[in-house]
C-alpha cells in the first residue's frame, strides 16, 4: 500500500515545479505580444501614409476645371449612296500589283504559231514574242463591301499597252449551309489550272490543251453557285452559267444565257505530310458563226465558220507533299488533267461566192502531267509533258465530195506535243526568277526550241493562292 506520506511529498514537488516554469512562459508570452504590437504599429503607419497620399491626389483632381463636352450640331441625314460606307477614307481596298516580264529565244517565228489539228481559237497564246517582252502585269483591288459581299477587280496590263479586265466580280459572304454565290466576270472553276492566275503558274505558259480548247484561260461573264459540304472530306459542288461568249462559244444574238458548267471536287489529307484533290467538270457552249482563218488546197486564204454545240469533259487531280506539312524546306507537287471535247453542228466555207455548208462532228482530246520539286529552300525545278490528239473529225462537205480535205488545212489530223523543263529561284515570297526550256512540236512539221527567262514581283496585299 502506497504510503500517504510519500503521496503528499509528490504533490508538493509538482507544485514547486509549476511555480518554477510559470515565470519563463509568462516572459515568452510578453515578448510575442510586444512583437505583434510593433507589427501593428508599422502597418498602421503605412496605411495612414497611403490614405494621406490618396486624399492629396483627389484634392488636386477636384481643384482642376473639368472639360465640358462640346456642343455638336446634328448633321443632316446622308444622301443615299451605293457604297457600303461613307466618308473620305471609306474606299480603302487591298491593292496588289504583279510585275511580270521575260526574255524569249525562239527558233520558229512566233507569228506563225498555230496548234495543228485544232480549230483556231482566234487568239492563240503561243510562246509570245522574241527577245525582251514586258509580258503581263496584274493590278488587283479587293475588299469586303459590307458583312454580306466581297468585291474583286483584276486588270491585266500587257507590254503592247493593252489593258483588259480579267476578273470583276462580287461574292457573297453570309449565305447559309456552305453556299456562296459569285457574279460578274471570273475565271471558270472547271478543271484545276483554269482558276490559277498566270503569276502563280509553275511554268511560264499554260498547258497546250488549255490553249487548244479554250484559247487560254476560260472566263465567264455570268454567275457561279458553289456549295462546300460540312464534312471532314473536302467536297465541293458548283454550277455556272453566263453569256458563254469566249471560245469555244460565242455571244448569242438573242437574250438569255449560253450554256453552263458543272463541277465537283473532292480532297483529303494523307497523314500529316500529304494531301490530294481530284475533280471532274463538264462545260457546254453554243457557237454561232464561230469563224477562223484557214487556207485552201491552192494556198489561198479562206474563212471557215462553225455553228453548233461544243461540250467538254475535264478530269483533274493534284497531289502535294511536304515533310509534316512544312513546305519551307522541301516539297513536291504532282498535277495532271485530261480534257475531251465533242463538237456537233454545221461547218461553212464562208468565202466562196456561194457559201457551202455541211455537217461537222469532231471528238478531240488532250492531257498534261507535271511535277515540281522544291529541293532546297527557295529553289525548285519541274518538268511537264503536253500531248494532244486531233481525234476523229467528220466534215460533211468532204464526205459529200464537194471539197477536198486539203481545203481545211487547219483540221488536218495531228498529234501536237511539248516537253518543258523549268528551274526557278524564289528569294522571298514576293519574288520569282525562272529559267524554262521547251521542245515544242505543237505546229505541223515545225519543231521549236524555246528558251525563256521570266521575272515576277508582287507588291502590296496579296491573298493566298489556290490549293
CB atoms within 10 A of CB 465: 10
Name 59's Cβ contacts closer than 8 Å, sequence gap at least 6.
none
Q: Tell me whether residue 85 is in a domain.
A: no
User: CA-CA-CA-CA torsion for 188, 190, 191, 193, nearest 10 degrees?
Assistant: 0
pLDDT surpassing 70 at residue 115? yes
Q: Under 8 Å CB-to-CB from 125, ≥6 apart: which residues? A: 205, 206, 211, 215, 216
Q: What is the DSSP letter of 205?
A: S
- For residue 174, the enclosing domain spans 94-460
Q: Please state the domain count of the chain.
A: 1
| pLDDT value at residue 10 | 43
Find residue 312's DSSP bridge partners.
283, 341
pLDDT above 50: residue 200: yes
Q: CA-CA distance, 54 to 50, in Å (whole number)?
A: 6
Q: Which residues of 282-317 are buried (b: 16+ CB within 10 A; e: fewer)?
A: ebbbbbbebbbebebeeeeebebbbbbebbbebbbb
Q: Are 134 and 162 in contact (CB under 8 A)?
A: no
Instruction: Please check whether residue 460 is in contact with residue 94, taking contact to mean a CB–CB distance below 8 angstroms.
Output: yes
Name the burial class of residue 9, with classes exposed (0-12), middle (13-18) and buried (19+) by CB atoms within 10 angstroms of its CB: exposed
In a domain, 231, yes or no: yes
Whether residue 67 lies inside any domain: the answer is: no
Rounded Cα distance, 101 and 159, in Å: 9
For residue 257, which of 365, 355, 199, 183 has the smallest C-alpha distance? 183
Minimum mean pLDDT range among 21-25, 44-48, 73-77:
73-77
The CA-based angle 218-224-230, given to 5 degrees, is: 120
Q: What is the pLDDT of residue 55?
A: 77
Is residue 377 domain-resident?
yes
The verdict on residue 276 lying in a domain is yes
- Specify the pLDDT at position 352: 63
65 has pLDDT over 70: no
Which of 60-69, 165-174, 319-328 is the least confident region? 60-69
Confidence band for 285, pLDDT divided at 50, 70 and 90: very high
CATH of the domain at 192: 2.40.160.10
Is residue 91 predicted with pLDDT exceeding 50? yes
pLDDT above 70: residue 158: yes
Instruction: Read off the pTM.
Output: 0.79
Lowest mean pLDDT, pick from 176-185, 266-275, 393-402, 413-422: 393-402
- Give the span between the Cα atoms of 437 and 439, in whole angstroms: 7
Task: Say what the pLDDT of residue 19 is.
Answer: 47
pLDDT digits (tens, 9 = 90+) for 160-181: 889 999 999 999 999 999 999 9
Q: How many helices (H) and strands (E) does the chain have?
A: 3, 17
Domain annotation covers residue 29: no
| Separation in Å, CA 386 to CA 192, 207, 438 | 15, 7, 11
pLDDT of residue 367: 98
* Predicted pLDDT of residue 353: 66
| Cβ-contact 170, 295 below 8 angstroms | no
Q: Quote the percentage of the chain above a pLDDT of 90.
A: 63
Residue with the three cell numbers 525582251: 132
Give the CA radius of gyration of the chain: 40
Q: Is the pLDDT of residue 78 over 80?
A: no
Evaluate whether 372 touches 381 at the Cβ level (below 8 Å). yes
Q: Does 40 score more than 90 pLDDT?
A: no
Amino acid at each position: 500500500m502506497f504510503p500517504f506520506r510519500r503521496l503528499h511529498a509528490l504533490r508538493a514537488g509538482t507544485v514547486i515545479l509549476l511555480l518554477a516554469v510559470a515565470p519563463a512562459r509568462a516572459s515568452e508570452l510578453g515578448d510575442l505580444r510586444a512583437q505583434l504590437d510593433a507589427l501593428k504599429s508599422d502597418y498602421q503607419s503605412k496605411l495612414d501614409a497611403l490614405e494621406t497620399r490618396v486624399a492629396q491626389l483627389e484634392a488636386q483632381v477636384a481643384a482642376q476645371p473639368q472639360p465640358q463636352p462640346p456642343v455638336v450640331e446634328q448633321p443632316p441625314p446622308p444622301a443615299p449612296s451605293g457604297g457600303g460606307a461613307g466618308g473620305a477614307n471609306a474606299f480603302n481596298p487591298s491593292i496588289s500589283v504583279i510585275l511580270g516580264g521575260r526574255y524569249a529565244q525562239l527558233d520558229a517565228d512566233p507569228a506563225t504559231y498555230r496548234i495543228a489539228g485544232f480549230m483556231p481559237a482566234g487568239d492563240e497564246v503561243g510562246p509570245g514574242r522574241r527577245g525582251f517582252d514586258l509580258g503581263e502585269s496584274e493590278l488587283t483591288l479587293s475588299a469586303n463591301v459590307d458583312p454580306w459581299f466581297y468585291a474583286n477587280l483584276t486588270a491585266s496590263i500587257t507590254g503592247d499597252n493593252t489593258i483588259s479586265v480579267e476578273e470583276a466580280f462580287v461574292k457573297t459572304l453570309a449565305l447559309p449551309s456552305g453556299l456562296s454565290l459569285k457574279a460578274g466576270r471570273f475565271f471558270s472553276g472547271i478543271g484545276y489550272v483554269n482558276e490559277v492566275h498566270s503569276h502563280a503558274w509553275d511554268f511560264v505558259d499554260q498547258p497546250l490543251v488549255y490553249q487548244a480548247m479554250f484559247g487560254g484561260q476560260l472566263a465567264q461573264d455570268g454567275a457561279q453557285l458553289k456549295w462546300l459540304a460540312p464534312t471532314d472530306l473536302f467536297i465541293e459542288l458548283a454550277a455556272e452559267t453566263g453569256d458563254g461568249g469566249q471560245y469555244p462559244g460565242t455571244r448569242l444574238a438573242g437574250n438569255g444565257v449560253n450554256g453552263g458548267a458543272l463541277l465537283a471536287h473532292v480532297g483529303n489529307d494523307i497523314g500529316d505530310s500529304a494531301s490530294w484533290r481530284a475533280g471532274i467538270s463538264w462545260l457546254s457552249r453554243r457557237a454561232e458563226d464561230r469563224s477562223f482563218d484557214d487556207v485552201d488546197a491552192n494556198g489561198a486564204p479562206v474563212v471557215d465558220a462553225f455553228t453548233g454545240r461544243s461540250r467538254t469533259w475535264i478530269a483533274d487531280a493534284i497531289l502535294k507533299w511536304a515533310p509534316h506539312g512544312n513546305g519551307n524546306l522541301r516539297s513536291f507537287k504532282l498535277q495532271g488533267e485530261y480534257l475531251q471535247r465533242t463538237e456537233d453542228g454545221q461547218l461553212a466555207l464562208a468565202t466562196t461566192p456561194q457559201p457551202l455548208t455541211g455537217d461537222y462532228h469532231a471528238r478531240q482530246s488532250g492531257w498534261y502531267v507535271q511535277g515540281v520539286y522544291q529541293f532546297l529552300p527557295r529553289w525548285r525545278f519541274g518538268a511537264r509533258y503536253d500531248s494532244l490528239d486531233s481525234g476523229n473529225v467528220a466534215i460533211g462537205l468532204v464526205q459529200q465530195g464537194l471539197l477536198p480535205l486539203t481545203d481545211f488545212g487547219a483540221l488536218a489530223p495531228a498529234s501536237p506535243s511539248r516537253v518543258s523543263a523549268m528551274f526557278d529561284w524564289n528569294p522571298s515570297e514576293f519574288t520569282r526568277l525562272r529559267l524554262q526550256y521547251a521542245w515544242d512540236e505543237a505546229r505541223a512539221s515545225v519543231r521549236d526550241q524555246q528558251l525563256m527567262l521570266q521575272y515576277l514581283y508582287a507588291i502590296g496585299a496579296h491573298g493566298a493562292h489556290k490549293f
